[in-house]
Amino acid sequence: MMERIILHVDVNNAFLSWTAVDMLHKGNKVDIRNRYAVIGGDEATRHGIVLAKSMPAKKCGVVTAETIFSARRKCPYLDVYPPQFKVYKKYSDRMYTYLCNYSNKIERYSIDECFIDYTDSYKKYGNPVKLAYKIKNDIRDNFGFTVNVGVGNNKLLAKMASDFSKPDKVHTLFSNEIKNKMWPR
Ligand SMILES: [Mg+2]
Domain boundaries, the chain: 6-12+85-182, 17-81
State the distance from the centre of ligand 1 to the C-alpha of 42, rounded, in angstroms. 23
Over residues 7-13, mean pLDDT: 98
State the distance from the centre of ligand 1 to the C-alpha of 1, rounded, in angstroms. 33
Residues, CB within 5 angstroms of ligand 1 (ion): 10-11, 14, 112
Confidence of residue 160 (pLDDT cuts 50, 70, 90): very high
Q: Mapping DSSP to helix (H, G, I), strand (E, B) and coil, where does residue 107 land?
A: strand
Over the chain, what is the mean pLDDT? Answer: 93
Higher model confidence: residue 184 or residue 91?
Answer: 91
State the distance from the centre of ligand 1 to the C-alpha of 56, rounded, in angstroms. 18
Residues 131 and 134: their CA atoms lie apart, in Å, by: 5
pLDDT of residue 1: 53
Over residues 72-85, mean pLDDT: 93
Assigned CATH topology for domain 17-81: MutS, DNA mismatch repair protein, domain I (3.40.1170)
* Per-residue pLDDT at 147 exceeds 90: yes
Are the C-beta atoms of 114 and 93 separated by less than 8 Å?
Answer: no
* Per-residue pLDDT at 4 exceeds 70: yes
CB atoms within 10 A of CB 81: 18
Residues 18 and 33: their CA atoms lie apart, in Å, by: 10
Are the C-beta atoms of 88 and 18 separated by less than 8 Å?
Answer: yes
Distance of CA 33 to the CA centre of its chain: 14
* Per-residue pLDDT at 146 exceeds 90: yes
State the distance from the centre of ligand 1 to the C-alpha of 48, rounded, in angstroms. 21
* Per-residue pLDDT at 79 exceeds 90: yes
* Per-residue pLDDT at 140 exceeds 90: yes
| CATH architecture observed for domain 6-12+85-182 | 2-Layer Sandwich (3.30)
Over residues 150-163, mean pLDDT: 97
Which residues are tagged catalytic?
113
State the distance from the centre of ligand 1 to the C-alpha of 60, rounded, in angstroms. 21
Over residues 82-88, mean pLDDT: 94
Are the C-beta atoms of 46 and 68 separated by less than 8 Å?
Answer: yes
**Range list of β-strands (E), the chain:** 6-11, 37-40, 50-53, 79-81, 106-110, 113-117, 147-152, 170-173
pLDDT of residue 62: 97
pLDDT of residue 17: 98
Residues 5 and 53: their CA atoms lie apart, in Å, by: 33
* Per-residue pLDDT at 5 exceeds 90: yes
Confidence of residue 165 (pLDDT cuts 50, 70, 90): very high
Give the β-pairing of 147-152 and 170-173.
parallel
pLDDT of residue 22: 97
For the stretch 13-50, pLDDT in tens is: 999 999 999 999 999 999 999 999 999 976 566 568 99
